[in-house]
Amino acid sequence: MPRQQLFQVVLLLVATLAASVRSDPLDNFPYRRDAILEYKPMEEHGSMNELHKRATCIPDGCPDGYRPQRIVDPDFGKVCVCVACGTDKCKSYNQCKNNTKAKCNEKEQYSCRREATYIEHASLGATTSYCGMGICSPTHSSTFPFVSTSLIRTAMAAANSSNPPQASYSKHNLPSGVAYHKWTIPNARAILILQHGFAEYSLRYMDGKLPLGPRLQALGFDIWAMDMWGHGDSPGARSVVHIEKAVQDHVALRRQVVAESSSSSNNLPIFLMGHSLGGLVTSGSVTSDPTGIAGVILSSPELTQPVNGVERAIVGLGAKFWPSGPVPIPAKPPTGLSRIPAEVKLFEDDERNYHGAIGLLLAATSLDCGAKIWRGAKAWEVPTLVFHGNADQFTKFEASEEFVGKISSSDKQFYAVEGGYHELMRDLDAEKVMDLVVGWLRERSASVNRR
């Protein structure tokens, strides 16, 4: 086999972060996630709980092939989500159940609206609005706005807290120069160190579009997050990342957290969470120094599996002479991130995300880091939760399942998401996944604090 061809074959084996194109019936659906709630003006209600009780699913609020369904959330009660109709013949919710639109049109007291306003709760400081789909509703309710399920959940999490957290934000730098961010709240009960994945950045998890951060703050968590070299607010060429140095930075950040927690006499339990490539960095950090960790969560982690010495040498040679060089595989759009096209568009439109290919330095050093993690699996004893979608086309579902089976922790869980794509907290099962994360952290932080 010619050397160039061998080089490309090897890189194809290690470049598991590539996406693939996949269409979805939710294309051009104007709502961010599952915003299918109808409710009375907020000033008529005494609390978010009362607001939520009166919220009802909008009959025609989903695109063709989907229908609204009321589900019960373990924390906040009933919410509405878009679900597939379950038949190829289904064209809209009205053909799924009761033909609501036809009934509306037959009655004078009903009118069909062509536009609706999608608002975000005022307490979140948001002002964005979008055009909504036409719906049938009673004339007297024609001025009702929409509110998204995820944002109702976020606002309620803070409203239902006995002491709604007022987070204080600050940004700092480690000695290496990489940036890290802190969101601290009064009377915190635990700390989460959150590590972003390839091509993204820390603030993407705390910008109000993802309810996870506010829910964790309502639970009593301070949140720390590091931007890897070449990402976010950290210096360096975009995507040129030495993974083992990123692991060293992560360990340094953990020590900084311990130092600050100890100096304030809090000694709070420290949890780690890493997504995708951030899962590799987080796992490398645990393998390097497992002390002082109350628990680890890995979200669709990149757990690069070992290759033979010849393959590693070839990749390393390319990284040495061209560290920023792209892995020689066709670039693909990120449609494999989520089954919700609006989420994919948010990623594509965000200029702070990196939209190029994986670099050779990243590929080579991921191999080295991954080999150490797999060698150290038997010594891994910290409580661990790993979740992964079995339709993930960026990272290997099977590797996550195998890794959980190999580690020696007596408290370990692998959670498989049927049909799930790569960014599960921005996918169709996002609420279930976030409930899993919050519940897991709630239980273990309470257990640690009782000791």
Q: What is the pLDDT of residue 15?
A: 44
Tell me what pLDDT residue 126 has.
27
Q: What is the pLDDT of residue 129?
A: 26
Q: Which residues of the chain have pLDDT under 70?
A: 1-165, 265, 330-332, 449-451
Q: Do 426 and 434 form a contact (C-beta atoms < 8 A)?
A: no
HEC letters along the chain: CCHHHHHHHHHHHHCCCCCCCCCCCCCCCCCCCCCCEECCCHHHCCCHHHHHHHCEECCCCCCCCEEEEEEEECCCEEEEEEEECCCCCCCCHHHHCCCHHHHHHHCCCEEEECCCEEECCHHHCCCCCCECCCEEEEHHHCCCCEECHHHHHHHHHHHCCCCCCCCEEEEEECCCCCEEEEEECCCCCEEEEEECCCCCCHHHHCCCCCCHHHHHHHHCEEEEEECCCCCCCCCCCCCCCCHHHHHHHHHHHHHHHHHHHHHCCCCCCEEEEEECHHHHHHHHHHHHCCCCCCEEEEECCCCCCCCCHHHHHHHHHHHHHCCCCECCCCCCCHHHHCCCHHHHHHHHHCCCCCCCCCEHHHHHHHHHHHHHHHHCHHHCCCCEEEEEECCCCCCCHHHHHHHHHHCCCCCEEEEEECCCCCCHHHCCCHHHHHHHHHHHHHHHHHHHHHC
Q: Give the pLDDT score at 322.
A: 86
Task: Please name which of 185, 271, 278 lies closest in space to residue 228, comparing C-alpha atoms.
Answer: 278
Q: What pLDDT is attached to residue 316? A: 78
Q: Where are the domains of the chain?
A: 3-24+163-450, 37-147
**CB burial of residue 330 (10 Å; 0-12, 13-18, 19+):** exposed
Nearest residue to 164 (alpha-carbon basis) of 217, 240, 92 = 217
Does CATH place domain 3-24+163-450 in 3.40.50.1820?
A: yes
